[in-house]
Structure formats: structure tokens, C-alpha cells
Chain A
Amino acid sequence: MALSDAEWTAVRLSLRVATVAMIFSLPLALAVAMALARGRFWGKSFLNGLVHMPLILPPVVTGFVLLLVFGRRGPIGAFLAEYLGLVFSFRWTGAALAAAIMGFPLMVRSIRLSIEAVDRKLEDAAATLGANSAWIFLTVTLPLILSGIVAGMVLSFAKAMGEFGATITFVSNIPGETQTLSLAIYSLTQVPGGDAGAMRLTVISVIVSMAALMLSELLATAVARRTVAA
């Protein structure tokens, strides 16, 4: 089952979009997960709701909101285009933004659970041994939640690979620019004789998603094993 050039382009674009989405959302996801797991502040439940919104809302709505906010005339989109030259609408960067937002709740959730599983008594012990809070985070907390972080990244990556609704609404379906795997499959099913191509891409999509889920499961078990305090 050889892929055509167009199909390869879609696969490569999907991988790039998913990777960029995963890497750029990681620092923010870690900060938000930390705040939700440990912080006590006004508006915490609002932040929690906001983070989880993309999971509940119809993807089309998320895509439309992105278009309104990050589009060329949107408040943030106009600002970024003007001062940083960063354009999202109808670009692959927009597809990555949509994918990142859709995968964000999954990543935050996974990291947050692993933070909550860390025995804080270990952090107290580290403090009595002379470590300040930054060192405690680096030498105790981070190693203990590492598997949770990786699991969250895998989930976010898998979500990004399959994202459809928000992407097509926000950045449309432009071959070579915003036509990711899912969008390519959709396009192929819309034309006569596209079934074979759609089938090939479907197989690739199934393999990538399955591998990601299994990897995440494996890492989640590792997290549970390692955070049991001895």
C-alpha cells in the first residue's frame, strides 16, 4: 500500500502539527496542572472549567472561537500578526494552535493526576535536607511526575493527530498547508475513487493512535509504581 505524494504530505503535516502542538503546550500545561493540583486561589474552578472547555464544547465551536480571537481581525490574532509576524489563520501554525488547544485538557489532566499522586511528605523531607523549593521541584517532584508528563504529551499528540472539527473551522482544508491526516481522509471520502486512499490513511491513523494510547498506558503504570513512597 504505497502512499501518493499528496497523502504523504498530509501524514508529514499531521506529524509536524502534532509535534509542535505538543511541545508548545507543555510548559503552560505543566504550570496550569501545578496550579490546579497545588494552588489555592480565587477563580481556581473557573480556570479548571476553562481548561476543560475544549473537551466538552463541539469542536466546531472551539474552531469558530479561535477564528474570532486568533483570526487576522481577531483581537489577539491582529496583535500577533502586527508585532510578531505570527499568523494563524489558514496556516499550518493555526492547525497546530487548534490541535494544542484540543489536546490541552488531556495533557493538563494527566500531569495534574501525577502531581496529586506525589507524596508531599517527600518534599518536606527534601526541605529538611536543605533543598529550597526550586530544587525540591527539580530533584523530587519532577522525577516523580515525569511519567505523567510523558503520558500527557502522548495523549496530546494523539489528540492532535486526530483533530478535525476545530481545525477545519479555523484554518480550512488547504492541501499542503492545513490539510492534516483527518482532513485528507475527509476530502478523499468526498471524491469518487478516493476510498483506497482514505483506507490507507485510516490504517496509518489507527496505528499511530493505538501506539500512543498503549505508550501512555505503560507510562501511567510506571508513574503509579514510582510514586509509592518507601
Chain B
Amino acid sequence: MNLEVEARHRIGTFAIDAAFQSGGGVTALFGRSGSGKTSLINIIAGLLRPDSGRIVVDGEVIADSGRGLFTPVHRRRFGYVFQEPRLFPHLSVRKNLAYGRWFAGIGTSPAEFAKIVEMLGVGNLLDRRPETLSGGERQRVAIGRALLAAPRLLLMDEPLAALDDARKAEILPYLERLRDETGIPIVYVSHSVAEVARLAEQVIVIDNGRVKASGAAAAILGQATAHLPRRETGALIEGLVERHDSAHGLTLVRAGEYLLHVPHLFAPPGHPLRLYIAARDVMLATTRPQGISALNILPGTIVDLTPAHEGSVDVRIACGGNLVLARITALSRETLELEPGKAVHAIIKTVALDY
């Protein structure tokens, strides 16, 4: 799948002028609220007609203002999961799910229906009315409804933003399954680094209506650059779920040579996972600390340090095959005499890794 988007649009004093390409998998449009992400995804969906622009999917021109071409929303076959579920209040869950299937023409088979219902865990909700569902259940039904319309591209506009942390943790694994099992390319709008880190392969940073940076998730999120708000800088670590420690509500994730303790995740052992560790959540020690509550103490070697900025420095540490980023004060760097090549221990509180 290849998606090309080019759009220029003016809304009052705010202007969007963005162009990007995405090559399948999950592409995150990442940026602060008000940066124009939602307008951009609405332009892709066809809900917003830009002053000028072009959208091409796999060589098929969906819209091109230069040639006066504009495919209406209902003929684009782009699924859309909105921030709020937007279920039809007069229809049961089953009919909501089946709504798009009817218009898809080719239609999805009953087996496909059963599979998506199973994947999203909504089988026991089918005869309920939308107003009787919890927020998380509604959003899962909305995702299923979009999928069952057999879309060639799935657009998701902050589908977790309206949910509390527990509900987010409940839905994220479903989104990972969706990414890994359906193979439908997804454009995912979010302002949450943790979500983007966990889901996206490609990240496009949007700021003030423009594309500020784009590239692989690890590269964009890992760089201590101006792409992200400085508070959010951190490192992306790939791992596999090793096992669960349900007695303590923990999950152990294998990342390189180390096992990381993270708060309990809804994912089976062997499930690949990406963790985002914010630099400000990582401490450094020159000797292995004793009597400390933090569960993750990773021996490693300093790779490099950034110059001091507002009294703090970012230190990159190679720990057993992973790169971890730590933000410490310039004072600590002086006191501990930190420099490239020095052996240190990176300390990460488990509770800081919560989503």
C-alpha cells in the first residue's frame, strides 16, 4: 500500500500546508492538539474538501484539485474510527457492525464477521443497544464497524483520547492485533507518545499545519531533537512479552539481554511489543544501587551526551542491545563525572512505564 497526501487548506487564520507519503502498516500523524492533525485526516477521508490538494492510493487518484477530481466520502472505502464512537443510537450493536458491510458491495463473509467480532471481543454485546455499553466497548464496536466495511485504508482519529487509562490499556492490545492480523494500512492520529510508540511504524510529526519531520518511529521518537516537546523525549525499545506475574500485576518483557518489569499488559507471551521510555523517567547510577524500589536496573555504557540545555543533559546509554535515553541535570553529570564509554546503571521505575 502506498498513500500520498498533499493538502493546502485555510481555516480562518490557520493554514494547513502538508504533504507526506506512507507505505503501509501504521502511520502516525503526531502532534499537539490544534496542530491540524484532525483536519488533515478529514481531508484524507473526504469529509473536508481542501482548497487544493491531491490524494493517491496505490496509484489510484482519489482526489486532485488540479484536475477537479474529488471522490465523495462514501466511495473512497476508507474506514474511519472517530475520537467518539459515533454508533447509531437507533440500531443494535449487531446492526451497527453490519451497517457498512451492506454498502461494501463485495461484502464481508459471515466468517469474516465472526473473526472480527472475536478479535475485538464484542461477541457478547451483539444484541445490546449502544447506550448500554461502556466507553471502551463502544469504541471497540466502532472499530469493528469500520473494519467490516472492508476498507482499503483505516483512519483513526485519537480513538483512545476520550477514554480513561484503564480503558486505553484495554483497547491498545486490540489495536495491536488489528495491525498485526488484518494487514490493513492505518493512519493513526495521536498526541500521545506512548500510543504512537506502541503502534506506529512510521511517524509524521505535524506542527502548526505543516509536516515537521517524518520517518521510522524509532528514529523520530528516539532522537533528542526538536520534533517532540522536550518533556516527551525518550527511547523506543522493542521487546517480546516473556511472561506475566499476575500475583504482583506485572508483565515481564524481554528486551535485548534484559527482562523489563512493566505494569500488567493484556498481551499473550511471545507478543511483540514496543515500549516508550521517557528520558525524564530514567535515573543513572555509577554503582549498582542497593535497597531501591525501582525494579529495572540495567547495566550499560554511555554512548554520548548532549550539551546542557536549561540545566539538564540527555545521556544515551547502550544497555544489553537497547539504547536508553536518560535526562539528568548538568550538576549530576559533573558530580558523577559522566562521559562516553563510562559504565553506568540505568534505573527505570516500573510504574513510570504505565500507559
Interface residues of A (CB under 8 A from B): 119, 121-122, 124-132, 135, 139-140, 143-144, 226-230
Contact = CB atoms under 8 A, between A and B. Distances in A.
Which 9 A-B pairs have CB atoms at the shortest separation, nearest pair first?
Answer: A130-B103, A129-B100, A230-B130, A128-B80, A127-B73, A125-B86, A143-B90, A230-B131, A129-B149
B126 to A, nearest CB: 15
B88 interface: yes
B47 A129 contact: no
Contact of A121 (B74, B84, B99): B84
B100 A228 contact: no
A121 B88 CA distance: 10
B74 A122 contact: no
Interface string B147-163: 00100000100000000
A128 B77 CA distance: 7
A128 B146 contact: yes
Nearest to B104: A130
Q: Which of B74, B104, B131 has the most CB of A within 10 A?
A: B74
Given A128-B146, A129-B99, A129-B149, A229 B84 contact: yes
Contacts of A121: 82, 84, 86
B188 interface: no
Contacts of B138: 230
Contacts of B104: 130
Contacts of B100: 129-130
Nearest to A230: B130
A228 B89 contact: yes
A126 B79 CA distance: 10
25 contacts: A125-B82, A125-B86, A125-B88, A126-B88, A126-B99, A127-B47, A127-B73, A128-B45, A128-B146, A129-B100, A130-B75, A130-B105, A130-B149, A131-B74, A131-B99, A135-B103, A139-B99, A144-B89, A144-B90, A227-B89, A229-B84, A229-B86, A229-B87, A229-B89, A230-B85
B87 A230 contact: yes
B295 to A, nearest CB: 41
Contacts of B105: 130
Contact of A128 (B78, B87, B129, B131): B78
B282 to A, nearest CB: 41
Given A129-B149, A230-B85, 17 more contacts: A122-B86, A122-B88, A125-B86, A126-B88, A128-B73, A128-B74, A128-B149, A128-B155, A129-B146, A130-B74, A130-B77, A130-B104, A131-B103, A132-B72, A140-B88, A144-B89, A228-B89
A7 B324 CA distance: 93
B145 interface: yes
Contacts of B90: 143-144, 226
B15 interface: no
Nearest to A143: B90
B114 interface: no
A147 to B, nearest CB: 10
A127 B102 CA distance: 13
A106 to B, nearest CB: 25
A29 B73 CA distance: 29
B84 A129 contact: no
A132 B102 CA distance: 12
A190 to B, nearest CB: 51
B133 A124 contact: no
Contacts of B74: 127-132
Contacts of B89: 122, 144, 226-230
A227 B85 CA distance: 14
A132 B105 CA distance: 13
A203 B286 CA distance: 96
Contacts of B133: 230
A122 B89 CA distance: 9
A145 to B, nearest CB: 10
A83 to B, nearest CB: 41
A60 B51 CA distance: 53
Contacts of A135: 103
A124 B132 CA distance: 23
Nearest to B102: A130
B156 to A, nearest CB: 12
A67 to B, nearest CB: 44
Contact of B145 (A129, A131, A226): A129
Interface in B77-115: 77-80, 82, 84-90, 99-100, 102-105
A132 B146 CA distance: 16
Contacts of A129: 74, 79, 99-100, 103, 145-146, 149
Contacts of B80: 125, 128
Nearest to A125: B86
Q: Which of A124, A127, A139, A230 has the most CB of B within 10 A?
A: A230
A112 B295 CA distance: 62
A192 to B, nearest CB: 57
Q: Which of A122, A130, A140, A227 has the most CB of B within 10 A?
A: A130
Interface in B222-278: none
B91 to A, nearest CB: 8
A10 B49 CA distance: 58
Contacts of B146: 128-129
A124 B131 contact: no
Contacts of A128: 45, 47, 73-74, 76, 78-80, 146, 149, 155
Q: Which of A124, A126, A129, A228 has the most CB of B within 10 A?
A: A129
